[in-house]
Amino acid sequence: MLFTDLVSSTEMLSRLGEEAAEVLRREHFRLLREAIAATGGHEVKNLGDGLMVAFDAVTSALSCSVSMQQVLEARNRNSEEPLLVRIGMSSGEAEVEEGDYFGGPVVEAARLCAKAGGGEILTTELVRLLAGSRGSFAFESVGLLELKGLDEPVSAYRVAWQPLAPENPTMVLLPSRMEGGTTVFVGRSTERQQLQGALDDAVLGQFRVVLVAGEAGIGKTSLASAVARQAFDNGALVLYGRCEEQLGVPYQPWVEALGHLVRYAPIDMLTAHVATHHGELAAFVPELAVRTGVAAPAPAAASAKMPVAAVADLLSRAAAFAPVVLVLDDLHWADDASAQLLRHVGTSDQQLRALVVGTFRDSKVDAGHPLASTLAAFHRVEGIQRLVLRGLGTEEVDALIEAAVGQSVDDAAVQLRDAILEETDGHPFFVRELLRHLVDEGVLYDQASGKWMDARTLHAAGLPLSIQEVIHGRVARLGDKALSILSMAAVIGRDFDLELLARVASADENTLIDVLDNAVADVVLVERDYPGQFRFAHALFQHALYRELSSMRRATAHRDVASALEAMCGDDPGDKVRDLTYHWALAAPRLTIPKRAESDLDLITLGIGEGVPVAEPEPSLLETI
């Protein structure tokens, strides 16, 4: 258990006033929560000026406490308003009721926190013993402490910590969303080279903008993060801002990114900026008023425009210290103000050591989207690139498989790799989640025998809940009618045509076309070579929708499809014999199987091949046929 407390918060409130003090308090919580997220802690509750946090491991709690003090110390170097936190930790068995924790270690940690000074971490002897040599933590004995509410004194220790080294002149920390986490980043060598080339130009003073497009989960943010982390390690200053769906906050990604810069930038740089542009930006970035003492304007009205010149000036001053990498994420959710500011900054002819990386889903940006005019304007500007991400290739999927099991992909695993590629189309999120599911199920690779999973049993392993939920969410956003129609399409197969779907779906032609058009726009479907022919964008889309149907609903749907195919074929089934037999085989068991299905069918191939749903007919049905 870990408790924190912000020192002198009451005095800060009376000295600065409620608004300025609240800005600092939120900043303090943000820094603490970044450390908690990075070390796997669970925030139990907010205590007003502190947090109560639970951990599964002693070393995680120690790492979190040290990280908290380090980031606050780094932040305080360039601030006239220091933030000091005291921390108390204890370990033991606690009782949990309705998400809250009770018991001895909770009381000990809270009382140790109260005894600690600003910038200090106090813990118990048990924590020291459990940590041992893991993590190389240093402890200093402070003797026996009398703690309120405890009968016996507690043998307490101070956890030693060292300030972070000044890795770059500005001391601007890497934004938490740009951290690498535990995910393995593979491939994208061509795209990384293009981004690195743009960054090299930016270092030489040539302002660059790179827009990274692609569908959800294809790896746009991961690519931007990988390049940003490498730039940070080489001394660049990294800023990050993200647009939120349906939030509609004016300038949201810019406020987040500039707020991070203002929070850590040298005070001299901010003072010089204010001397030129006064408090223009403070109406949008309140931290500027807190750090510099400039008179804060009234809160910006929704119609107010963020001053482009002031934004450019602040970025330019930051770039004088180090090259700037500004990541603007999820621009398909950008408001008009944010998109226009990007247009003005991107099309300016200033000399600026900066690279702006914007990510967006191209399927979400139509002619009326706020970002559309900005993208159009960028086509005419030199130095602006657009990258479109597609699925991963064989070597990249090999690398993910090897990372998942710790074994090289040999000839025996090639068919399995190809089956995974067929299912996912190399979509990074789907590949990772499917591999995680197969590892959790213990079927991907048998360490004892050294055997890989048989590719033919991939469907039998099922789909992980994460993929099922993501796909259901994508389709559900299209509406209940779309969900019903696309589920019927999934019964037909990965590939289907409008004529057959129209015969079995309960919808008029206009509704059907609207649903299919919207599904194509949202990259759930793709159009084939001829009008009226469609294909699910990923095989997993078809499989997930098919699995959501009950067994009886599947059977009756197969019956309807088979009957519709018979009506379309008439007396000459031609190349539809296999499809007819397949759907009749999976239809309700009591239905009479048409005579033509008894011949011209290689039962060995039944259930295998392109467009076949994951379910296979029961042996009794095969015998009936």
Taking the C-alpha atoms of residue 434 and residue 401, their distance in angstroms, rounded to an integer, is 10
Q: Rounded to whole angstroms, how far apart are CA atoms 278 and 301? A: 18
Please check whether residue 92 is in contact with residue 105, taking contact to mean a CB–CB distance below 8 angstroms: yes
Strand partners, 527: 534
CB 568 within 8 A of CB 540: no
Token reading at 397: 């999927």
Residues 6+ apart with CB under 8 A from 408: 402
| 85 phi and psi angles, rounded to 5 deg | -130, 140
- Sequence ranges of the domains in the chain: 2-160, 176-388, 394-453, 467-624
Are 519 and 578 contacting, i.e. CB atoms less than 8 angstroms apart?
Answer: no
Residue given tokens 């906050």 in the structure block? 249
Radius of gyration, CA atoms only, the chain: 30
DSSP states along 36-61: HHHHT-EEEEE-SSSEEEE-SSHHHH
The pLDDT of residue 39 is 80
Q: Report whether 169 contacts 322 (CB < 8 A).
A: yes
DSSP 174: P
Pairwise CA distance, residues 497 & 348, whole Å = 49
Quote the CA–CA distance of 336 and 347 in Å, as a whole number. 16
Cβ-based burial of 227 (10 A; exposed 0-12, middle 13-18, buried ≥19): buried
The torsion region of residue 624 among left (phi > 0), alpha (psi -120 to 50) and beta comes to alpha
Compute the residue count for the chain: 625
pLDDT in tens, 92-111: 988 888 889 998 899 999 99
Provide the sign of the torsion angle of the four alpha carbons 290, 293, 294, 296, taken in this order: positive
Count Cα neighbours of 73 within 13 Å in the Cβ-side half-sphere. 16
Superfamily of domain 2-160: Nucleotide cyclase, GGDEF domain (3.30.70.1230)
Per-residue model confidence (pLDDT) at position 617? 44
Tokens of 486: 């696309």
pLDDT reported for residue 624: 44
The amino acid that residue 304 corresponds to is A
Q: Which two tokens stand for residue 450?
A: 């050294």
Residue corresponding to tokens 């200093």: 140
- Phi, psi (deg, nearest 5) at residue 514: -60, -45
Burial class (CB in 10 A: 0-12, 13-18, 19+), 576: middle
pLDDT of residue 613: 42
Give the separation between CA 216 and CA 235, rounded to whole angstroms. 31
Report the distance separating Cα 195 and Cα 167, nearest Å: 23
Cα dist from 32 to 18, 35, 66, 180, 604, whole Å: 21, 5, 11, 18, 60
| Strand-strand pairing, 51-54 and 42-46 | antiparallel
Q: What pairing do the DSSP bridges indicate for beta strands 533-536 and 138-145?
A: unpaired
3-state secondary structure (DSSP) of residue 345 = helix
Q: Let me know if the fold of 176-388 is the same as that of 467-624.
A: no
Q: Which residue has the tokens 């191209």?
A: 362
Q: Which fold has domain 176-388?
A: Rossmann fold (3.40.50)
- Render the burial of 290-311: b for 16+ CB within 10 Å, e for the rest: bbbebebbeebeeeeebbeebb
Contact 83, 263 (CB under 8 A): no
CATH of 467-624, one of 3.30.70.20, 3.90.550.10, 1.10.10.10, 3.90.226.10: 1.10.10.10
Tokens standing for 268? 């001299």
Flag residues of the chain having pLDDT under 50: 167-169, 182, 590-625
Query: For residue 64, which of 52, 46, 48, 76 has the smallest C-alpha distance?
Result: 52
CA distance 316 to 327: 16
Q: 360 vs 126, 213, 253, CA distance in Å?
A: 50, 5, 13
Q: H/E/C letters for each residue in 563-598? A: HHHHHHHCCCCHHHHHHHHHHHHCCCCCCCCCHHHH
Is the pTM of the predicted complex or chain greater than 0.85? no
If we measure between CA atoms, which residue out of 437, 422, 426, 425 comes closest to residue 467? 437
